[in-house]
Amino acid sequence: MKVVDFLKRKREILAQHPFELKDWLSPAIRDYWREFQQKAHLPPLFGRVLDLSSEQQSAHEVAAQQMVNGQPNLAHSLSGEAARLFTELQSRLGEEIHVGEWLHISQPLIDQFAAVTGDQQWIHTDPDRAANESPFKATIAHGFLTLALLPQLTGSVEGAAAEFPTARMVVNFGLDKVRFPYPIKVDSHIRARTKLVRVTPIKEGLELLKEIKVEIEGVRRPGCVIESVTRIYF
């Protein structure tokens, strides 16, 4: 089925939930949406989904509107501590902004996660069988366990040494991309290395896109690579 035909068939659903469509679209697709709408002769609904007020637009769109001569127009978007932090972080784009402490991945830690989540697959919880049948010759950590450890690995839960102490609230807004290039075997030591990729003004704060690599001690390939989205409110 052609994309246009599919969208037309979903017209009634989208009419009832227009803002869900906007959330499904990546920033890159949104940039070309209006051109696509014109060529496909879609109904006006689709245009209205993207023609939102500045308060409703995605952080990507707001940032694009707030650029003057290639520079952020902070006078119309940010003030006070938010503006100061935005300027500071802009100068650090592409930098590694945090390297965490090494964390030991023990079998009891893996077993506790398995008990909480119900994922008792033998490659995680049965050392004897894993030694005999697994290609890794040992149990390995759940991928979701690695993700669950991110707050600890990145130091974002250290109340006494908060990354953004002047912020009113810091929110995990989600993950854009997650990959597990290499298994994390039991008794490995891992740590997170965080690089700042993008800073975008949003209403009452900032949105940060960070690339986090979970490093395994003594292993060239990372155990996990994540694109993490954080929102900071002032």
Question: pLDDT per residue over 119-177, tens digit each?
Answer: 999 999 999 999 999 999 999 999 999 999 999 999 876 655 677 888 888 999 999 99
Average pLDDT over residues 35-60: 48
Average pLDDT over residues 21-50: 51
Distance CA 217, CA 189 (A): 6
The CATH homologous superfamily for domain 96-233 is Hotdog Thioesterase (3.10.129.10)
Place of tokens 């506790």: 112
More confident residue, 138 or 203: 138
> Which among 73, 53, 56 has a CA at the least distance from the CA of 64?
73
What local confidence, expressed as pLDDT, does residue 56 receive?
44
Query: 174 φ, ψ to 5°?
Result: 135, -175
What local confidence, expressed as pLDDT, does residue 48 receive?
45
Chain-centroid distance of CA 214 in Å reads 14
**Secondary structure in 3-state letters for 130-161:** HHHHCCCCCCECCHHHHHHCHHHHHCCCCHHH
What local confidence, expressed as pLDDT, does residue 161 receive?
66
Chain-centroid distance of CA 41 in Å reads 34
For the chain, the average pLDDT equals 79
What local confidence, expressed as pLDDT, does residue 219 receive?
97
* Cα 144–Cα 212–Cα 30 angle in degrees, nearest 5: 95
Average pLDDT over residues 24-42: 53
Per-domain residue ranges for the chain? 3-51, 96-233
